[in-house]
Amino acid sequence: MERQTYRTIITNKSKKKREQLMGFLKTCVCEICSE
């Protein structure tokens, strides 16, 4: 049971990181386009 919870936390963390990365990439692309 604890292992499952641990796994879920890890998955959520990586999901959040991926979203942040995508947002960061989008911002970079927008800045490049606007120049």
Using a cut of 0.95, tell me whether the model's pTM lies above it.
no
Per the structure block, which two tokens stand in for 9?
A: 């936390």
State the pLDDT at residue 30: 84
Per the structure block, which two tokens stand in for 6?
A: 């641990």
Please count the CA atoms within 13 angstroms of the CA of 16 that sit on its side-chain side: 6
Domain encompassing residue 19? 1-35
What's the number of domains the chain is made of? Answer: 1
Where residue 16 falls among pLDDT bands split at 50, 70, 90? Answer: very high
State the pLDDT at residue 32: 81
* CA nearest to 2, candidates 10, 21, 20: 10
